[in-house]
Structure 1
Amino acid sequence: MIKSVIGLFLPVILALPLAAQEDSDVLFTVSGEPVTVGEFRYIYSKTNGQDADFSRASVMEYLDLYERFKLKVARAREMGLDTVVALQNELEGYRQQLADNYLLDKEVTDKLVSELYRRKQEDVDFSHILVSLPSLIPADTLAAYERAMDIRDGLTAGNFADRAAEVSDDAYSKNDGGHIGYVNAPLPGGMYRLEEAIYEAADGEVVGPVRTPAGYHLVLKHGSRPAYGEVEIAHILLRKSPEADPDMQKQRAEEARAALRNGESFEDVAAEYSEDDKTSRQGGYIGFFGINRYNKTFEEAAFGLSEDGEISEVIESPVGFHILKRISHRGIQPEAEQAPLLEAAVRQDTRFAEARKALFDRLEREYGTRKVDANYTSFVNGLDSTFFQLSTDLSAADRDATILEIGDQQYTTGDFVDYLEANARLRSSLERRFEVEGAAESLFDNWTDQQVERYAEAQLEEQFPEFKALMREYREGILLFEATKLEVWDRAGEDTTGLEAFFDAHRDQYRFPPRARVLKYTVNTAEGTDAQAVAQAAEKNTSAELIEEFGTDGLRIEEQVYEEATLPKGVTFKADTRSSVDQVDRNSAVFYRVVEMLPARQKELSEARGYVIADYQDQLERQWVEALRKKFAVKRNERVLAKLIES
């Protein structure tokens, strides 16, 4: 048995160091600076996306591009651009933007979103016994916990319903033996621990006590099923009310159902019969909903419809008599599509605060975080009731005394005082809940979390390879941009002699094809101007004469030059031709007239300047890269390259 297990896992064990070695292998060097397989694989995959097939042609093409990129970065460093303060500040700005929430997203948010998405795949059926909390006073909390533990003693799946009916404080469910029924994650705010308990328990298992804002829960998980998802429903409702005879309302509902059987549309029947004012004029449309949104009978009937377009029989709920029509059904959508909604739900829930606190507790232990008790106590002993005042002076006798240590970093009493003064409103708000010592302790804990997070952010490159890769992209991208600007782009725009020489050498590339000079006439017919009269007059009068005759209020003339492919619709590429008059709206009409054909010719530099500069930049960049290849040696590791292509 042991031998078979070793045989099963041995290939995996052997593969791990090989994979790590491949990522650390040097693919090529530029002036001795290595580029590893891991770096190239990351940027190649990121750039090419789904087309990153690691074929020879694809890898070789991108390898050439990346070598050129690295040559330019090497030149930027040679120019000392990596020491320019403005560029360093720009990079630090990028890093701060990237680092903000990065740790929380990777260590907390992303994991909670994946956990929630996984749970949403199942609806879970459970019962519970609630021991409520009369208050949050520690003595009351302890008493409630002890009561829950007493109930837990001897509690089984077999006697759970009886015990719930006897002792549960949940009036909603105790008469049903504590049975809640099927639920789907996330549970309402504050119920994360209960959600965790029912999803993680085995079928038939009793777990607890579980603490939530409602109190302590003892839980029996009955089972689970694939999540129902959401159903899109329209309905017809005949309401129950003190004024309405229930038998008559049911009879009217049956009449409506008969009308549907006779072929009348659901929309028409809803408009005639339904007493739901919000939906009757919209074909009875309710929309999408999941489980536990409506009454159980209504919900079961809605999800019991198995096909789109299927119509239920008359069903009764506490509200009245319904006829339901299924419009569509959708299951749990792909995680990528659900992620934004799930992330919002996670961040608003207590699970986020709990996971965040757990993260910082772990990091504090890993980094060796220590409160310097003597200096902290000395500072707190100097506080009095003015601590809660917004404008109080919190100056410490010894601002330089170390009050907190995280790893190799030390933080002083003065640092903590600066935090307290910057958060004066938070400090003042704590007066309702704490004495001075308790408020100071709470604020110190918050401040410590902030410092731990900042310390952790400084370690992101070591902890997250993708963060390190992104920072390398930012750093080298800034250097590349600045070097290219100085060596290529600025030169192309400022080197007038070189630009003119380039243009003279490539003049034949910059030509106008045959074109037409076209006049557009916009006639203001709202003012009574006759568009047809203008069109006839345009054939033998100049633009100035037309404006003089019809006035600027009645006529606007614009000139533009077109190539044949871009001519306005209805215009012929021929001199002295005119389009028909087109009444574009109630107030204006438009026609075009070709007044002159312009033959093909070479452009002057002033006419092609933008194109010439762009092409000149391309030439300068090619020449620059050729010079860089001579200046900085590029050496490929052909063996490593071949292995990368094979992967």
Structure 2
Amino acid sequence: MSRLFYLLSLLFVIGGLSAQVSDDAVLFSVADREVTVGEFKYIYGKTNGDNADYSRESLQEYLDLYERFKLKVNRAYDMGLDTVKSLQQELAGYRRQLADNYLIDRAVTDRLVEELYQRAGQDVDISHILIAVKPNASPEDSLKAYQQIMAIAKETTAKNFATVAGERSQDTYSKDKGGRIGYLNAPFPNGLYALESAVYKAKPGAVVGPVRTKFGYHLALVNDKRPARGEVEVAHVMTRKPEKGDATKAQEKIERAYALLESGQPFEQVASSTSEDEKTARNGGYIGFFGINKTEKTFEDAAFALEEDDDYSGIIESRVGYHIIRRISKKEQGTLEEERAPLTAKVKEDGRFKTATEALLTNIRKRANFSEDKAAFGAYTATLADSTFFTFKWKPQENRSRNPVLFRMGDDQTVTVADFEEYLQKNARKRVSARRRGNSAQVARNLYEEFQEEQLMAYAESQLEKDYPEFRALMREYEEGILLFEATKMEVWDKAGQDSVGLEAFFAKNRESYRWKDRARVSLYTIYPKIAAKAGAIRKLAAKSDPEAVLEAFQIKDATENRGVTVQTDSYERDRLPKLAEVDWKAGAMTELERNNQNGRFTFYKIEEVLGSAPKELDEARGYVIADYQDQLEREWVAALRKEYPVKIRKRVFEKLVKKQ
């Protein structure tokens, strides 16, 4: 059994410890190792799920299970397995896998996904006023733009918003429409997360801002909010308007198409014969799924107005022509878990992820009491020379007389110039390729910022057990699972497989438990397509002859795969071959011919001899015997552990857990 599979199975059996321990009272102890109520309650709840009714019977059953688990773990510690280097390395590997994305997933991704899910449930109708400023604008230009938007904000209300937008906004798309953007749904386009947050938090009628995005400073008016339209799957029939002149012919043609639909003609047929949208007509007018702001507003409104699948609209006019729209299906927002994967992908592709990660780093700096000696870093970069820094020959300074501290974290963690130089050497390719981005001091500063982020994340990961009780509990569970696996392997599994004398004695004592059920020798006849016409004759001969006679009469003796007939004879227990349920359980009984349509072969079964029930030999039952012998050894092991390690259950504490007798 692989250790990883065993650990995953164990985590399922005893439950995952991923909730904060809420009660430090001791429920029971094994020798001097204690188990708290909080630990037990969470394991019990996690394992039993909706069936965790806290009844006396259920709690007692799980307490017995967890007590046995802790007895074995106690033995593993006394065996010194927690000091075995290979097991320590294995646990460290699990921790790295778990910790790699733990902070980002918990502190950034999960929060952003849940936020986006809530926002995506609403469409928000907005107008805005923009004062444009580039993301890399100078401080002077940014200040000038900010002063402009602040001046506009002082005179702007919901009532005069459209007028001010028409006069002052620098967004050429919406300016002539009074700043009106229309309905949007989260996520907003990349770079507009701050605007999205502002308008989703505001109530209809509110003016919000100024808000800075990559396009500049915005004031926004929330016109309306509605439940999200989602996506609709449609097909259409379309007739095109001429670029110039009268559209009467196009209108008459769409009216004829509508009449055909009203008479009962299938939509796909009408679309294929009538529609002038070449891309969709050949597929019955099929367009596919679309959401808001993907088509002209009149088309979108008509499509989303259809209430039932297979409903079709009246005649809709757009800029390009006339349409009849059929709704095929509608996709509503699913549950958070159903939407989590696609939302996670959207979050990680969006600028909001970087923003939130930066906020996380700021929080880590605060919690770590981060302090930096900028003068020490400046003095170090002054020693760097472009001629060597941007080459692979560059090396950290040897025999350094001083090793200044660059920054400090936590109670006693310091990061020095030597640590940063080690980072520079490990990232030589990145260092050398950055030559065009500035001089050695500038590039060193950029790499130093990346190095700082890496060190901050490493520090935060080192504090996971302290900051996240569920992480600490999960790591304890991994550790105990590894130790239990190794102890059980040594005390039970290996012994059961290697102790041949003990295994034989166990088998002899329990021989009657390993018997064949009613059996028969059964022949499977396979008739190949080359002589399929003779299938009936073959079955008729098999009914009165043995397999050898049938093979002699019909087998084609060549080296190709086009053989005539094959026979495979094996012993089967009565319930192991469902095909034999169709016939009497007696010698000579045969199933009917059955043809496989994929390969053209015929098959049938014949009972050659009924063997009846009989005891199995050890080799015939070895797998079952070893498994049962392991169970016995484990029971004996647990009994011995109970004598070695006293278990003390605090009954009064247990009684307080019981909610149902």
- TM normalised by structure 2 equals 0.90
Q: 1:638 aligns with which of 623, 644, 651?
A: 651
Please report the RMSD computed on the Cα atoms of aligned residues, expressed in angstroms.
2.3
Displacement after TM superposition at 1:440 (Å): 1.6
2:629 equivalent in structure 1: 616
Find the counterpart in structure 1 of residue 556 from structure 2: 551
Give the direction of change, closer, same or farther, for the CA distance of 1:200–1:21 in structure 2 (3 Å limit): closer
Partner deviation per Cα, 1:491-526 (whole Å, 9 max, x = no partner): 111111111111111111111112111111212232
The reply to whether residue 462 of structure 1 matches residue 466 of structure 2 is yes
Separation in 1, partners of 2:338, 2:572: 46
Distance 2:26 2:220 in 1: 57
The answer to whether the 8 Å contact 2:124/2:200 transfers is yes
For 1:526, the aligned partner's letter is K
Tell me how far 1:598 sits from its aligned partner. Answer: 0.9
**Does residue 194 in structure 1 map to residue 203 in structure 2?**
no
Q: Secondary structure at the match of 2:658?
A: helix
Q: Name the structure 1 match of 2:482.
A: 478
Q: CA–CA distance in 2 between the matches of 1:21 and 1:601?
A: 55
Task: Work out the CA distance in 1 between the residues paired with 2:313 and 2:72.
Answer: 70
Structure 1 residue 467, shift from structure 2 partner: 0.8
CA distance in 2, matches of 1:244, 1:485: 87
- What pairs up with 1:17-28 in 2 under 5 angstroms? 23-28=23-28
SS of the residue 1:153 aligns to: helix
Query: Deviation of residue 566 (structure 1)?
Result: 2.6
Query: 2:135–2:216: 8 Å Cα contact kept in structure 1?
Result: no
Of 602, 613, 616, 1:600 maps to 613
In structure 2, the partner of 1:324 is: 325
Paired residues for 1:325-474 under 5 Å: 325-386=326-387, 389=390, 391-396=392-397, 398=400, 400-407=403-410, 408-474=412-478
- Tell me: CA distance 1:427–1:152, structure 2 relative to 1, closer, same or farther (3 Å): farther
C-alpha distance in 1, partners of 2:25/2:569? 64
Cα distance in structure 2, aligned partners of 1:131 and 1:387 = 46
d(CA) in 2 for partners of 1:540, 1:185: 77
- What residue number does 2:31 align with? 31
**1:267: how far off?**
1.8
CA contact 1:525–1:531 (8 Å) conserved in 2: no
Matched position secondary structure for 1:558: strand
Q: Does 1:52 align with 2:56?
A: no
Change in Cα spacing, 1:436 to 1:210, as seen in structure 2 (3 Å) is farther
1:589 alignment counterpart = 602
Residues 123 and 183 in structure 2, CA contact (< 8 A), matched pair in contact too: yes
Aligned to 1:629: 642
For residues 71 and 619 of structure 1, the distance between their equivalents in structure 2, rounded to whole angstroms, comes to: 17
| Distance apart, 1:63 and its partner CA | 0.6
Q: How far does residue 236 in structure 1 lie from its aligned partner after superposition? A: 1.4
**Deviation sequence 1:248-267 (CA, Å, 0-9, x none):** 11221121112112222222
Answer yes or no: is the 8 Å Cα contact 1:388–1:430 preserved in 2: no
Question: Are 1:513 and 2:514 matched, yes or no?
Answer: no
The one-letter code of the counterpart of 2:125 is D
Contact 1:576/1:595 (CA < 8 Å) preserved in 2?
A: yes
The residue identity in structure 2 corresponding to 1:555 is V
- Alignment of 1:115 with 2:131, yes or no, is no
- Contact 2:135/2:215, CA 8 A, preserved across alignment: no
Inter-CA distance 484–218: structure 2 relative to 1 (3 Å threshold): same
How many residues get paired?
629
Q: How far does the alpha carbon of each residue in 1:605-644 deviate from its partner, in whole angstroms, 9 at most, with x for none? A: 1111111111111111111111111111111111111111
Given the superposition, is the C-alpha separation of residues 72 and 175 from structure 1 closer, same or farther in structure 2, using an over 3 Å criterion?
same
| 2:565 counterpart letter in structure 1 | L
Distance across 2 between alignment mates of 1:223 and 1:195: 14
- Stretch deviating more after TM superposition (109-118 or 246-255): 246-255
Deviation at 1:382, TM superposition (A): 1.6
1:4 alignment partner in structure 2:
none
Q: Which residue of 1 aligns with 2:8?
A: none
Q: Choose 48-57 or 528-537, whichever is displaced more.
A: 528-537
- Distance in structure 1 (CA, Å) of the matches to 2:438 and 2:297: 45
- The alpha carbon displacement at 1:548 in A equals 4.2
**In the aligned structure 2, how far is the partner of 1:261 from the partner of 1:580?**
54
Q: What SS does structure 1 have at the residue aligned with 2:279? A: coil
Q: Is the 8 A contact 1:571 1:592 kept in 2?
A: no
Query: Whole-Å Cα distance in 2 between the matches of residues 429 and 113 of structure 1?
Result: 36
Q: Distance in 1 between matches of 2:519 and 2:152?
A: 93
Q: SS at 2:34's partner residue?
A: strand
Match of 1:592, SS?
strand
Please name the residue that 1:7 is paired with. none
Q: Which residue of 2 aligns with 1:580?
A: 592
| Superposed displacement of residue 299, structure 1 | 1.1
Q: Cα offset for 1:150?
A: 3.1
CA distance in 1, matches of 2:52, 2:269: 55
Contact 1:516 1:561 in 2 (8 A): yes
For 1:140, the equivalent position in structure 2 comes to: 141
Identity %: 49
Distance 2:124 2:231 in 1: 16
Counterparts of 2:242 and 2:394, CA distance in 1: 66
Is the CA contact 1:27–1:36 (under 8 Å) kept in the aligned structure 2? Answer: yes
CA distance in 2, matches of 1:528, 1:322: 58
The one-letter amino acid of 1:64's match is D
Which amino acid counterpart does residue 151 of structure 2 have in structure 1? D
Cα distance change of structure 1 residues 62 and 134 upon mapping to structure 2, 3 Å threshold:
closer
Residue 526 (structure 1) aligned to one of 510, 526, 530: 530
Conserved 8 A contact 1:526-1:587: no
Give 3-state SS (helix, strand or coil) of 1:282's partner: coil
Is 121-130 or 64-73 further displaced after alignment?
Answer: 121-130
What CA distance in whole angstroms lies between the structure 1 residues aligned with 2:515 and 2:21?
56
Q: Counterpart amino acid of 1:295?
A: E
What letter matches 2:332 in structure 1?
G
CA separation of 1:110 and 1:542: change in aligned 2, threshold 3 A: same
Counterpart position of 2:15: none
Q: 1:218 to 1:436 in 2, by over 3 A?
A: farther
Quote the Cα distance in structure 2 between the aligned partners of 1:583 and 1:207.
74
1:204 aligns with 2:205: yes
Could you say if the C-alpha distance between residues 274 and 519 of structure 1 is closer, same or farther in structure 2, counting changes exceeding 3 Å? same
Conservation of the 8 A alpha-carbon contact between 2:515 and 2:614: yes
The alpha-carbon distance between structure 1 residues 149 and 616, as it changes in their structure 2 partners (threshold 3 A), is: same
Larger deviation, residues 614-623 vs 273-282: 273-282
* Residue pair 1:529, 1:554 contacting (<8 A) in 2 also: no
Which amino acid is the alignment partner of residue 406 of structure 2?
A: I
Q: Which runs of 5+ in 1 are unaligned?
A: 1-18
Residues 1:320 and 1:636: Cα distance change in structure 2 (over 3 Å): same
- Aligned mates of 2:149, 2:608 — CA distance in 1: 95
Pairwise mapping of residues 294-333 of structure 1 onto structure 2 (< 5 A)?
Answer: 294-333=295-334
CA distance in 2, matches of 1:213, 1:236: 41
Q: Is the contact made by 2:135 and 2:214 (CA closer than 8 Å) also made in structure 1?
A: no
The whole-number CA distance in structure 2 between the counterparts of 1:479 and 1:241 is: 79
Deviations 1:367-422, CA, capped at 9 Å, x for gaps: 02222334322321122324673524042353854323221212232321222233
- Write the distance in 1 (CA, Å) between the matches of 2:483 and 2:201: 51
For residue 456 of structure 1, what is the amino acid of its counterpart?
A
Answer yes or no: is the 8 Å Cα contact 1:193–1:212 preserved in 2: yes
